[in-house]
């Protein structure tokens, strides 16, 4: 009896392995067939970016494609989000893939045929709009992923949700949005998702490479607003008032001192950055008030709380010492992005098979943030990197950062991301 049971188990295991191998071949073939369309979708989206919570045309573009594939499609999720549901031909678990859709208030300088010329207003400032973080590639890969997996749906033992998320870069002030709102609206329910996957293009990782990190991989991101109030006076007589511009400069120095002198950086990295400072209307008038807006990045919850406390002390005391007043408001934003260690270990062989062992890189944690963390706080998640640095790049050459006007991605590597995602779906569903 034991021998018969062992034989049946081995036979069943062999059938499953053979079925998976057959699907790998089908995925590779279909991915190659859809590659040119995927790149075309990416370039269309790149040329027509939209800001957070304003991704109306992008959402329509995605929904039309998903409907053409015969998926169940839900729109207007967390304002402009789109969710497509693919039900496999066999019973099994429910998994999800996520792609973010929003662009940034950045004016593009890259000279490409599909360069963005879109203009908009952000924080009452006229600006260009650009996919300066690669969300256009994420959307295109996931649109292609849906098409590839639909072609093998009868062989898939389970259900797949394709989540296209708005406002990853943060909802406009006064609005809700992003992954947090999607979770609150139940995007991981009905049917209940048990694992979620996502990728992020990287301008510094070579094309066809994949990067991952188990555990904490990206930082928590909090927003702060500082308002410094002085006494307005003529620019020729600063002693006649209290200069909030000068006070703000000292506050910025004090904030940097928190990081460089009061934070144990050998434990984890941390960053405080002022991204906006404004005050005054004329060259010879010292204004009454200055406003500063910035970000705090931390990879440790205890350090996060200590830095918040120290910022309150530094801002108020420096202002008071110089005769001004200041108030700081800190809004907790995105939590630490945590890759479930068990899920990471389970999927790592898939990434290595797709890209090759030498092309799968274990990366350090970064102080960049990702609201994928809201999904991964609810269920096990894995968020990995996809290389976008051109193969022609020479070591030592300048690599434009994400969120800059010169950000550039070589979309020839998107097919690696597509194959990785499709293989993850097959391996997870079959090995559950």
- Segment 152-162, tens digit of pLDDT: 999 999 999 99
50, 147, 168, 427: the catalytic one is 168
Q: Is the pLDDT of residue 14 over 80?
A: no
CATH classification of the domain holding 240: 3.30.70.360
Angle of helix 56-68 relative to helix 135-150, nearest 10 degrees?
10
Residue 269 lies in domain: 220-334
Helices (H) and strands (E) in the chain, counts: 9, 18
| SS3 state at 53 | coil
End position of a domain, from candidates 277, 304, 334: 334
- Res 5: pLDDT: 59
Q: Are 26 and 129 within one domain? A: yes
Q: Are 280 and 401 within one domain? A: no
- Res 72: pLDDT: 98
Q: Are 352 and 284 within one domain? A: no
**Angle made by CA atoms 38, 166, 213, in degrees to the nearest 5:** 75
Strand blocks (E) in 363-415: 381-389
pTM metric for this prediction = 0.86
In this prediction, residue 133 has a pLDDT band, given cuts at 50, 70 and 90, of very high
Residue 168 known to be catalytic: yes
50, 55, 100, 102: the catalytic one is 102
Q: Are 76 and 177 within one domain? A: yes
Kindly provide the b/e burial profile for residues 83-107, where b requires at least 16 CB atoms within 10 angstroms of the residue's own CB: bbbbbbeeebbbbbbbbbbbbbbbb
Among residues 211, 217, 270, which one has the least CA distance to residue 388?
211
* CA gap 22, 73 in Å, rounded: 29
End position of a domain, from candidates 312, 334, 356: 334
Q: Give the helix ranges, DSSP H, for 177-328.
A: 178-184, 244-262, 301-321
Q: Are 56 and 144 within one domain? A: yes
Q: Are 124 and 210 within one domain? A: yes
* CA gap 360, 103 in Å, rounded: 28
Q: Are 302 and 400 within one domain? A: no
- Res 21: pLDDT: 81
Query: Contact at 8 Å (CB) between 167 and 52?
Result: yes
pLDDT cut 90: percent of the chain above it: 91
Residue 222 known to be catalytic: no
What pLDDT digit, counting tens, does each position of 375-390 carry? 999 999 999 999 999 9
In this prediction, residue 11 has a pLDDT band, given cuts at 50, 70 and 90, of very low
Q: Are 326 and 359 within one domain? A: no
In this prediction, residue 20 has a pLDDT band, given cuts at 50, 70 and 90, of confident
End position of a domain, from candidates 301, 334, 367: 334
Q: Are 318 and 350 within one domain? A: no
DSSP 203-247: EEEETT-EEE-SEEEE-EEEEEEEEEE-B-EETT-GGGSB-HHHH
């Amino acid at each position: 009896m034991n021998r018969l049971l062992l034989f049946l188990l081995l036979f069943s295991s062999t059938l499953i392995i053979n079925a998976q191998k057959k699907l790998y071949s089908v995925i590779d073939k279909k991915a190659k067939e859809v590659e040119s369309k995927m790149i075309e979708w990416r370039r269309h989206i790149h040329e027509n970016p939209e800001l957070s919570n304003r991704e109306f045309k992008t959402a329509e573009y995605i929904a039309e494609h998903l409907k053409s594939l015969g998926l169940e499609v839900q729109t207007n999720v967390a304002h402009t989000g789109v969710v497509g549901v693919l039900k496999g031909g066999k019973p099994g678990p429910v998994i999800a893939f996520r792609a973010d859709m929003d662009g940034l208030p950045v004016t593009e300088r890259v000279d490409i045929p599909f360069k963005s010329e879109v203009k908009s207003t952000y924080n009452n400032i006229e600006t260009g709009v650009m996919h300066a973080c690669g969300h256009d590639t994420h959307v295109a890969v996931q649109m292609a992923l849906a098409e590839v997996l639909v072609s093998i749906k009868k062989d898939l033992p389970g259900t797949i949700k394709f989540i296209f998320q708005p406002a990853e870069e943060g909802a406009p002030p006064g609005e809700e949005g992003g992954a947090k709102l999607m979770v609150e609206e139940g995007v991981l329910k009905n049917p209940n998702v048990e694992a979620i996957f996502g990728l992020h293009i990287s301008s510094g990782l070579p094309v066809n490479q994949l990067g991952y990190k188990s555990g904490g991989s990206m930082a928590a991101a909090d927003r702060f607003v500082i308002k410094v109030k002085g006494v307005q006076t003529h620019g020729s007589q600063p002693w006649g008032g209290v200069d909030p511009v000068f006070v703000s400069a000292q506050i910025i120095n004090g904030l940097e001192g928190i990081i460089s002198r009061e934070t144990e950086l050998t434990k984890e990295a941390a960053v405080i950055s002022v991204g906006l400072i404004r005050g005054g209307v004329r060259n010879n008038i010292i204004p009454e008030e200055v406003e500063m807006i910035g970000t705090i990045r931390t990879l440790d919850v205890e350090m996060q709380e200590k830095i918040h406390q120290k910022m309150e002390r530094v801002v108020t005391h420096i202002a008071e010492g110089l005769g001004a007043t200041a108030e700081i408001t800190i809004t907790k934003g995105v939590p630490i992005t945590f890759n479930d260690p068990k899920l990471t270990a389970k999927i790592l062989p898939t990434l290595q098979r797709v890209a090759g062992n030498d092309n799968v890189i274990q990366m350090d944690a970064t102080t960049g943030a990702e609201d994928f963390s809201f999904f991964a706080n609810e269920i096990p998640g894995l968020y990995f990197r996809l290389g976008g640095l051109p193969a022609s790049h020479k070591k030592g050459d300048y690599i434009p950062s994400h969120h800059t006007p010169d950000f550039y991605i070589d979309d020839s590597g998107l097919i690696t991301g597509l194959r990785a995602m499709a293989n993850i779906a097959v391996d997870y569903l079959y090995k559950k």
